[in-house]
Amino acid sequence: MVRDFVNTTDHETASDELDSRAALGRYLRREGLLTGSARATADDLDLALRLRSGLRRALELNHDGGGADLPALAAALADLPIALTWAGSAPVLGADAAGVRGALARIGIAAHEAAAADQWWRLKICSFDECEWAYYDRSKNRSRSFCEYGCGNKLKTRAYRARQRARTPG
């Protein structure tokens, strides 16, 4: 869920799936996070964009082991309506509101759940500047730098060709 939310902006095509309040509502409905006729407000859209930006920055830092303070992400998470409640035999984090804010809260909770399951560190941003797609690193030692082999291959091929041009006179 976190990866898909971060990937609502596409750096390759310079497109943004969350470019309006209506687009935010469509995205949240398509992902099954929002039901009913709730409409996003300008404040909801602002919160969604701040949350996405903060999560993107956190995933970028996962290449280096994370651990940095991210005040913008902390502020966005603090604005989410999240409550700790009791369900059956265990405490449970849940959205404390319905509508768009509740849907965004579920994204924040998904980030928390990924961290609690020790999966957070596997969520990263592709190191290829033309891509920057969020991906889940399935490598055994969590060392992948690219979302797919194509991105790493493009970068390595460019570097190889540049070295070849540098060696070849005029």
List of domains in the chain = 2-167 (1.10.3300)
Per-residue pLDDT of the chain (170 residues; tens, 9 = 90+): 999 999 999 888 889 999 999 999 999 999 999 998 899 999 999 999 999 999 999 999 988 776 789 999 999 999 999 999 998 999 999 999 999 999 999 999 999 999 999 999 999 999 888 888 999 999 888 778 888 767 866 666 766 677 777 777 76
- pTM greater than the 0.95 cutoff: no
**DSSP string for 85-141:** EEETTEEEEEESS-HHHHHHHHHHHHHHHHHHTT-GGGEEE-S-TTT--EEE--STT
